Amino acid sequence: MAERFRQIVDRIVEKWKSWSAKQKTIIISTAAVILVAVAIIAFAVTRPNYEVLTTCQDYTELGSVTSILNENGYKYQVQDNTLVVKVEKKNLTNAKMAIASADIKSDGYTFDDAMKSSFTTTESDKTKQFAHYLEAKFVSDLESMDGIKSASVSVDIPDTSSSFYATTAEKSVSVVVDTNKTISDDTAESIANFLATAAGNSTTNNITIIDNKGTTLFSGLSNAGTVSGVSNAGKQKYKAQIEATTINSLRKGLLSTGLYDDVNLTLNYVLDWDAVNTIATEYSTQGDEQAIFGESYEEISTGSTGASGTPGTTSNSSDSTTYNVTNGTGDTSTYQLNKYSYMPNSLVTTTNKEPGSIVYGDSSLAVTFIKNVVYNEDECKKLGYLDNMTWEQFKSQNTQPVAQTVDQTWIDLISAGTGIDSANISVLAYQRPWFEDSTSGSVFTRVTFWLQIALAAIILGILVFVIIRSARPLTVEETEPELSVEQMLAATKENQPAVDDIDMQDKSETRKAIEKFVDENPEAVALLLRNWLNDDWS
């Protein structure tokens, strides 16, 4: 066994000596890297995993927690300049039970913990417990989102002692996040909507999100002062989106006619962000044709005035001298009041107008059509444009765009497509010159073109050769085994002529080969003679 082991060691040493210095360096470097990687992995795997046990309120509580952990033999860590205590993951449950016996709450606050109460628990205490539960829940939810490494949340629940204030106030949520990538405005708004919904808020006005660098990602305060509840940034974003959608659709329709090569559009939509609540009441009769009114009065008053006796004097010829004199004035009056009150049918319609509607009457649109006019040097020569000038002079005289007249039909078409009044649409059209130099007589251009083709073909051929060469299987050339001294002399003996045929004066080729071998390998010759003497070789 020892002999076998020694042979293996000798072979390894022999193989190691056969390698070059570069190969030895590569092998040593690779082995070192592998050993370091294995050491790092072993350290990471065997390293204790610590998790947060509790966040102490003050250093007094921190001292109590550490004392309990020391008494129970649990290893722990306290982060620098913080009150956060961590223990090994395997001891987390037992550690929670240990500090719970001292009436110290561990982190990972649950809803059941928030709802626990006793006779001494006040409404204010319940509110704080629920706020703490929301904070723990929001931290867990935020840290599970992509791009957020850690989060800190503060929840402020308003006072509910006043029933009116309790129904109108909303919870305030302040968030500080540590991100590992850029958080877009859309993502921040989505997070704010999630927090508002989870907190029971109807709006995001009381939600604020910043990152650990102090950059504001979302601020609900910018929305609180607007009637519509939409921030100025949100308004601009919405305006840009609907303008871009309209421009793309309109541009595609205008270019589809093929009459113009390009079109530039500048659209300015005026948006109404007022939230309007309209209530309309419609009255109708109950089947007859009586006029509709809520209440009607009809007043009639009549009267007369006169003397009861005959005015003036009468003849005394009559025997009767008696006069009838009334004691009243003879006035009469009549007053009549007719009151009518109908109960007509009524239909009440409430219309809530969403903010952000387009005011087409105040919106405007500017359109510029571009028509490319191509001037080819060869065509211009045929048409006689270059009879009295050079091609460069012709180009300098025709570089300015030429304005064109636009038919009213285009304006009506654009107005119908956008809804904007024709009076608010401005349309211009220009012819833009485009010059093409002649290539028919340029020998240099043609030579350059073919040189580029030839160069590309050469490069392509080299690439194909390299690919084929690298894809060809490797061939192992077998080297002839080195002949031993005995085999060489035996072969020489078989091929050499008889001793009698050797001319002493003229050396044969065989003799020259033997003498050369003896001069170059004296040790081998000595070994050969030793073998002859020992083995009686002939």
* pLDDT tens digits, 174-221: 999 998 888 888 888 889 888 988 888 888 888 999 998 888 888 876
**pLDDT in the model for residue 292:** 58
**pLDDT in the model for residue 469:** 67
Predicted confidence (pLDDT) at residue 461 exceeds the cutoff of 90: no
Residue 227 main-chain phi, psi, to 5 deg: -65, -40
**pLDDT in the model for residue 538:** 47
Predicted confidence (pLDDT) at residue 7 exceeds the cutoff of 50: yes
pLDDT band at residue 23 under the 50/70/90 scheme:
confident
Helices within 178-284 (DSSP H only): 185-199, 221-224, 232-255
Average pLDDT, the chain: 75
pLDDT digits 0-9 by tens, 393-414: 888 888 888 898 888 999 998 9
Nearby residues of 528 by Cβ (< 8 Å), 6 or more positions away: 485, 486, 489
Burial 278-310 (b: 16+ CB within 10 A, else e): eeeeeeeeeeeeeeeeeeeeeeeeeeeeeeeee
Q: Pick 256 or 231 by higher pLDDT.
A: 256
Q: Pick 371 or 4 by higher pLDDT.
A: 371
Per-position DSSP letters for 11-68, written without gaps between them? HHHHHHHHS-HHHHHHHHHHHHHHHHHHHHHHHHHHSPPEEEEEE-SSHHHHHHHHHH
Other CB atoms within 10 A of residue 104 CB: 18
Q: Pick 291 or 433 by higher pLDDT.
A: 433
